[in-house]
Amino acid sequence: MHTHTLIALQSNITLNLQSSNSTAIACEVEADGSGVRCNERGCMKQEETHFIDFSVYIYSNARLEKYSRVFFLRDIVIPGRVTNLRVEGERFLWEEPEFWEKPCSFYQLQFEVKRVQQGASCQAPALKEKTEIMGDKSFPIYKKKPKKYVFCVRAQDRYTGAPWGEYSELAV
């Protein structure tokens, strides 16, 4: 069973989520209203061939409204923050996001790494060298000067071009 958080909604919304092959997928709104969790049974290591038909019904003041959207999960899944970002020897190391399929996933990730000035956000432009995109989960430590900086890394689905996840950072 795999769980996917889709979108933020309020707790008074009824959901009907079904794949295009008519398989019902159980969904519920988070208690704090921060999102929707859907539990899907099946193999997630195969390419999606069926789309999701997502319908939201809102009943308020004797009025019923329906909003629908059709999509593939691969089009909306954004990786979380990479985990266990650390320094070992002369390299930065990290692991896949907490809720990404491990140890190996059909949906492989690529990582964006850069360093920014100490005290700056990872959204800031990279210091002198370019931001790098890579498939490895390690990167050499930059040691040309003993200057302090922040190392930033984030993940993206390697093949779909989906949005990047949020940055994880480590002060060096």
Please tell me the predicted confidence (pLDDT) of residue 26.
65
Select the more confidently predicted residue: 35 or 69.
69
Fold of 2-75: Immunoglobulin-like (2.60.40)
**DSSP symbols for 76-113:** T------EEEEEETTEEEEE--TTS-SS--SS-EEEEE
Would you state the pLDDT for residue 127? 80
pLDDT, tens digit, for every residue of 129-169? Answer: 777 888 888 888 876 665 788 999 999 988 877 889 999 99
50-73 pLDDT tens trace: 788 888 888 888 889 888 888 887
Taking residues 104-110, report their average pLDDT.
Answer: 74
**Percent of the chain residues topping a pLDDT of 90:** 16
The CA distance from 137 to 94, in Å, is: 6
Least confident range of 12-26, 34-48, 59-73, 154-168:
12-26
Residue 122 φ/ψ region, left for φ over 0, alpha for ψ in the -120 to 50 degree band, beta for the rest: alpha
Q: 83-171 falls under which CATH superfamily?
A: Immunoglobulins (2.60.40.10)
- For residues 94-120, one letter each, b for 16 or more C-beta atoms within 10 angstroms of the residue's C-beta and e for the rest, the string is bebbeebeeeeeebebbbbbbbbeeee
Residue reference for tokens 């920014």: 116
Q: Start-end ranges of CATH 2.60.40.10 in the chain?
A: 2-75, 83-171
- At residue 107, does pLDDT exceed 80? no
